[in-house]
């Protein structure tokens, strides 16, 4: 297991390096000039009115007039020292900007994931528990509907009905827990739909297995069959959705924080991309890649816990004492 973890950590380093390199190349291949965008006002100002001499001075100040390989080596060297540089838009350190925005996005993601877990697992259990065909059909139709709904449309709909028509929750801002309710619901709907789809399919497959029939024949209750016997095996394919769920939360945070005017990683990403703020975009990409890598590593480590049959490739298996005794007695 130690060797496996070390190999996965090595792969994680390669993934982070590849994400950083691809982002660096793509940003520098864009036709616009980040310094000209900064001088023109950041968000789509008229670059034709910018003084070329001032642009050249700022490009030299930020090292953007060096050859591309030289810029890459310098930027990568700083990153290896956990120095992501300063934002081109306001000159603040990239690490500081991300650190200020991260807590709000983390709070939104955790609350949305908790709500999605309740909705997804509840829908999957009820759809396989009920004996009414019409209820089962209605519940199984909800996950595809939830996946297909656009996140921004759901957010606008919730604002229209629960903020404007019935002023229950605030529509905008980060003030208080009440402002977290509508964004969490908006972000949780597609995640819960994905969880419900995979878990319901896994439960239906597990409930048709012979070991479930054996448990029922021994007098196990329906709750015990679902929770003790079927759920553990059904959770294995659901666990592999870890990376997809993290991706949905990160991508959805960009849309949700924009719709609800929340300050967080999502809005910071939109601002950085619109302003072609190269150091900030690279820092955000590295953050997202690190979260993906750690999530997938955690999922891989949890698989053997849920399913003891899963073993690390190449790990030797010792024969059981009973097997050796049986072989010896037979010979």
Over the chain, what is the mean pLDDT?
A: 79
User: Which pLDDT band, with edges at 50, 70 and 90, does 77 fall under?
Assistant: confident
User: Residue 141's pLDDT is what?
Assistant: 87
* Residue in the block written with tokens 């909705």: 119
- The answer to whether residues 59 and 174 belong to one domain is no
- The answer to whether residues 48 and 135 belong to one domain is no
307 falls within a domain: no
Task: Give the tokens for residue 159.
Answer: 């604002």
321 falls within a domain: no
User: Residue 62's pLDDT is what?
Assistant: 65
- The answer to whether residues 112 and 6 belong to one domain is no
Of the two residues 109 and 88, the one the predictor is more confident about is: 109
- The answer to whether residues 76 and 183 belong to one domain is no
- The answer to whether residues 43 and 161 belong to one domain is no
- The answer to whether residues 161 and 237 belong to one domain is yes
- The answer to whether residues 72 and 132 belong to one domain is no
- With a cut of 80, say whether residue 243 has pLDDT above it: no
**Structural domain boundaries enclosing 44:** 2-80
Contacts of 215 (CB under 8 A, 6+ apart): 224, 225, 228, 229
User: Residue 115's pLDDT is what?
Assistant: 92
- With a cut of 60, say whether residue 147 has pLDDT above it: yes
- With a cut of 80, say whether residue 150 has pLDDT above it: yes
Task: Give the tokens for residue 250.
Answer: 């990160």
- The answer to whether residues 48 and 158 belong to one domain is no
How many structural domains are present in the chain? 2
* Single residue among 223, 254, 274 that ends a domain in this structure: 274
In angstroms, how far is CA 25 from the centroid of its own chain?
24
- With a cut of 70, say whether residue 41 has pLDDT above it: no
- The answer to whether residues 161 and 253 belong to one domain is yes
Q: Give the angle 220-222-228 at the CA atoms, nearest 5°.
A: 70
- The answer to whether residues 73 and 119 belong to one domain is no
Most confident of 83-87, 219-223, 259-263: 259-263
Of the two residues 44 and 88, the one the predictor is more confident about is: 88
320 falls within a domain: no
Task: Give the tokens for residue 212.
Answer: 């479930």
Of the two residues 322 and 255, the one the predictor is more confident about is: 255
- The answer to whether residues 54 and 107 belong to one domain is no
Return the minimum-mean-pLDDT range out of 39-43, 297-301, 310-314.
310-314
Burial grade of 44 (CB within 10 A; 0-12, 13-18, 19 or more): exposed
- The answer to whether residues 202 and 269 belong to one domain is yes
User: Residue 324's pLDDT is what?
Assistant: 38
């Amino acid at each position: 297991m130690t060797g496996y973890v070390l190999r996965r950590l090595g792969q994680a380093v390669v993934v982070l390096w590849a994400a950083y390199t691809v982002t660096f190349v793509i940003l520098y291949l864009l036709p616009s000039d980040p310094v000209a965008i900064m001088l023109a006002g950041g968000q789509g100002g008229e670059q034709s009115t910018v003084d070329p001499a001032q642009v050249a001075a700022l490009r030299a100040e930020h090292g953007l007039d060096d050859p591309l390989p030289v810029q890459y080596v310098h930027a990568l060297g700083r990153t290896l020292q956990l120095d992501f540089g300063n934002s081109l838009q306001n000159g603040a350190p990239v690490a500081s900007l991300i650190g200020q925005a991260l807590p709000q996005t983390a709070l939104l993601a955790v609350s949305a994931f908790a709500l999605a877990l309740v909705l997804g697992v509840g829908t999957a259990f009820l759809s396989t528990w009920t004996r009414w065909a019409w209820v089962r059909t209605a519940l199984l139709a909800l996950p595809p509907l939830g996946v297909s709904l656009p996140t921004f449309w759901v957010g606008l709909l919730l604002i229209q009905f629960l903020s404007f028509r019935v002023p229950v929750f605030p529509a905008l801002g980060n003030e208080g827990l009440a402002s977290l309710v509508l964004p969490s619901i908006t972000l949780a709907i597609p995640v819960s739909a994905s969880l419900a789809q995979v878990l319901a399919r896994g439960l239906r497959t597990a409930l048709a297995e012979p070991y479930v029939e054996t448990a029922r024949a021994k007098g196990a209750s329906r709750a015990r069959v679902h929770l003790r016997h079927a759920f553990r095996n059904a959770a294995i394919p659901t666990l592999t959705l870890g990376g997809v769920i993290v991706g949905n939360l990160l991508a959805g945070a960009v849309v949700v924080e924009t719709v609800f005017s929340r300050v967080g990683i999502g809005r910071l990403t939109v601002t950085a991309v619109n302003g072609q703020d190269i150091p900030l975009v690279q820092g955000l990409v590295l953050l997202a890649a690190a979260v993906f890598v750690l999530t997938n590593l955690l999922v891989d480590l949890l698989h053997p816990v849920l399913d003891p049959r899963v073993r690390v490739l190449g790990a030797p298996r010792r024969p059981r004492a009973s097997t050796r005794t049986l072989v010896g007695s037979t010979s």
